[in-house]
Amino acid sequence: MFYFAFKSMVLVPLLRWLFRPRVEGMEHLPDTGAAIIAGNHLSFSDHFMMPVMVRRRISFLAKMEYFTGAGLKGRLTAAFFRGIGAIPVDRSGKEAAQAAVDTALGVLERGELLGIYPEGTRSHDGRLYKGRVGVAAMALKSGAPVIPCAMIGTFEAQPTGRRLPRLVPITIRFGEPLDFSRYDGMQDHRAVLRAVTDEIMYAILKLSEQEYVDTYATEARAALGANRPPSGTGVRAWGARPEPTGRLARGTDRPAAA
């Protein structure tokens, strides 16, 4: 009740009037049934901009910190995210990650839409970072299609650290659904999970036209704070687009190496 009331009475008229977001590819979203919407994550505003333009409810995975804040602000933030159906994700370890996957699978089993940001956190500089394999595990275990989504303009509107968004043009671009049924029964193979994740990230990249960085966003941010380049990255980490893996790379059903 809170989700639909807040969306229809507050978010929709306010955000549409202020930002007039443009939507492309809405026909790729199913009217019924389960699907995973996987998007880039540039801003806190992403949590609002996309759901406003989609009629169906989207349950998003959200970091646990949104639900555990102290004081009045923390309680209000937690109440808001619970009210809109956000799913808390503990990012402290592998067991926590598996719990998030299991919770997300419950959403998909009910035939609902699941929203996820494969990068795992907001981009601190507007670039697209390497995706984590949780999205691949959810797609393969549920059999749900993955719909890539690009948020364009939200970084300029509200980058990390900015409290109130600027009024700039926003575009939300959905791509064609990705089907990974060719990997049925292979969801426990690390190379397959990596290949599927890379294919999803490449689809997001084509939609967003961002610069790609071949390392995790958390590692890049930590390296920035330590004033050193992220470990394990090469030349293409700082500007080149990623080469797709798996079927997208070779035209076969065999996944590329992890």
pLDDT in tens, the chain (258 residues): 655 555 555 556 666 666 678 899 999 999 999 999 999 999 887 877 787 788 888 888 777 887 888 888 888 778 777 766 677 777 666 676 677 778 889 999 999 999 999 998 899 999 999 999 989 999 999 999 999 999 999 898 888 777 777 888 889 999 999 999 999 989 899 999 999 999 999 999 999 999 999 999 999 988 887 766 665 444 343 344 444 444 444 344 444 444
In a domain, 258, yes or no: no
Domain tally, the chain: 1
Domain residues for the domain of 83 are 21-250
Distance from first CA to last CA of the chain, Å, rounded?
A: 43
* Residues 65/85, Cβ–Cβ less than 8 Å: no
Q: In this structure, is residue 110 part of a structural domain?
A: yes
* CATH code of 192's domain: 3.40.1130.10
> Is 42 contained in some domain?
yes
User: Does residue 63 sit within a domain?
Assistant: yes
* Residue 135 counted as domain residue: yes
Vertex 38 angle, CA 140 and 120, to 5°: 95
Domain contains 90: yes
β 87-89/22-24 pair status: unpaired
Residue 37 makes CB contacts below 8 A (sequence gap 6+) with: 29, 50, 58, 113, 114, 115, 116, 146, 147, 149, 174
Could you tell me if residue 203 is inside a domain?
yes
Question: Which residues partner with 42 through β-bridges?
Answer: none
Closest by CA to 127, choosing from 213, 61, 255, is 213
Supply the pLDDT for residue 99: 75
Q: Which residues are 89's β-sheet partners? A: 63
| pLDDT of the residue at 104 | 87
Query: Among 155, 159, 141, which residue's Cα sits nearest to residue 105?
Result: 141
190 part of a folded domain: yes
